[in-house]
Amino acid sequence: MSSLGAAFRLAWAGWILTREGVIAALPGDELYGLPRLGWRIARLLTRRRAIGRGRSERLAQAVARLGPSYVKLGQFLATRPDVVGNEIALDLSLLQDRMRTFPQEQSIVAIEASLGRTVGDLYARLGDPVAAASIAQVHWAEVAHSDSVSKVAVKVIRPGVRKAFFRDLESFFLAARLQERYIPYTRRLRPVEVTQTLAETTKIEMDLRLEAAALSELGENTKNDPGFRVPSVDWERTGRDVLTLEWVDGIKMSDIEGLRAAGHDLKLIAANLIQSFLRHTLRDGFFHADMHPGNLFVEDDGTIVAVDLGIAGRLDKKERRFLAEILYGFITRDYFRVAEVHFEAGYVPRHFNVAGFAQAIRAIGEPIHGQPAETISMARLLTLLFEVTEIFDMQTRPELVLLQKTMVVVEGVARTLDPAFNMWKTSEPVVSHWIKDNLGPRGMLADARDGANALLTLARQAPDLAARTERLSREIDLMAEHGLRFDPATANAIGKAEARHTRSGRAALWVIALTLVWIAIQLA
């Protein structure tokens, strides 16, 4: 029944997307066969009032009708241009996560249930909501101290949002499984794995304690950085469903005229934004992954304050090294080294030729050199990079895609501040400094120290490893003698799982087909 409900919800979502003209707005001229027929039918079924709208406006209208879960899906897919393409990702990134506020009484219930104290005990005053999104809304409030009163922002989870999201998540998984089964060329993009990532990131985003921890970590990492900070967390007034933060007084980075009127140097802010982001990424391996203008404020002294850290990205030391070398290779036009790094990282299968891949990288890098600063686009470069990596069977790397998407967004914000902004020239000091510190003599000493620690850890585990090796050897001997065997319970579970997936896929297709027939009858 759960799969049946998911199929109905998926069919309904498809109908809404069709009626609002989203499917008709997709580039369907190059399709053929059934997909092209479906695209033509979608054009006929589009509402008349939707025909005159742009694609992003149609998408916004459809998502508004579908509800909060689809807002989060759209925002998430905006971080995956490798899955939906750069143009669609850009449209999705323009989605405004603005919802109606819910009654203050419900916020009070959520706060008191989460923290186990009355609102009157926690806050001197709890004001009306100032903003509302798909997952939570924000109130202003005041906290009384022994000798003063401070203003804070209180973020409260929207009632019922978890249940609604995980109900719709079933439909997302069903769509991903159908896509993997019936559209073979998309399997490289791992749609089920992408959906699983959405489930995990949203689950984290719906626990405000984890957002508080991310803010705290980023705050510690950047406490000595010039011109960048995040608001401090009031841990006493933070729980799973409520997050209390320092109130930020500043101008939103989307208010260009306001920044200019306040006397800020927009070029300096643009450079500071890019360099701060790269420092967080390369130095710390932890970065704010939702740095759109609505989440960035500029204080009177020009300091950038980033809020809403529900989406964050991480890179380990090895990934950071590869990233720095790839960026530096593009900056210095060392395309062969960029290609070598892709092979060393295991991004490109070994059966391809390094020189051939370097040639493809050169085709991407050369157009960005010698051009005026305002024409050098990171978004265009990433579009070409995705096309090339598909040719060379490079598998999707979710952590790198999130980083690349964030770089595109940050570059876009910088260009709104400074139309002549040069991403590469501004990045070079941070990237070259990191390479000098981490790939030079100091970096070699650090790698040697890490290697010695790894060998010491391995030596300590030697007795346990020897015992495991002996057991594995015996199991291999038995397997060679008797073949691979499953115990009855495992074999039975595999058979049931396969049968269940087959039935659910067929049921979903029938439900979608019957829904389309019903829609056609209604329109007749």
Q: Active-site residue numbers?
A: 290
Strands 228-229 and 304-306, bridge-based pairing: parallel
Residues whose CB is less than 8 angstroms from the CB of residue 353 and which lie 6 or more positions away in sequence, other chains included: none
Joined tokens for residue 159 = 């009632």
Give the torsion through C-alpha atoms of 413, 416, 422, 425, to 10 deg: -50
DSSP-derived 3-state class of residue 136: strand
Give the Cα separation of 132 and 441 in Å (integer): 51
To which residue do tokens 């005990």 refer? Answer: 121
- Write the secondary structure of 65-97 as one string of H (helix), E (strand) and C (coil): HHCHHHHHHHHHHCCCHHHHCHHHHHHHHCCCC
CA 413 centroid distance within chain: 17
| 326 burial level (CB within 10 Å; 0-12, 13-18, 19+) | buried
Considering only CA atoms, give the Rg of the chain: 26
Give the Cα separation of 20 and 452 in Å (integer): 61
Give the Cα separation of 246 and 234 in Å (integer): 7
Q: Which one-letter DSSP state was computed for residue 461? A: T
Residues whose CB is less than 8 angstroms from the CB of residue 199 and which lie 6 or more positions away in sequence, other chains included: 166, 169
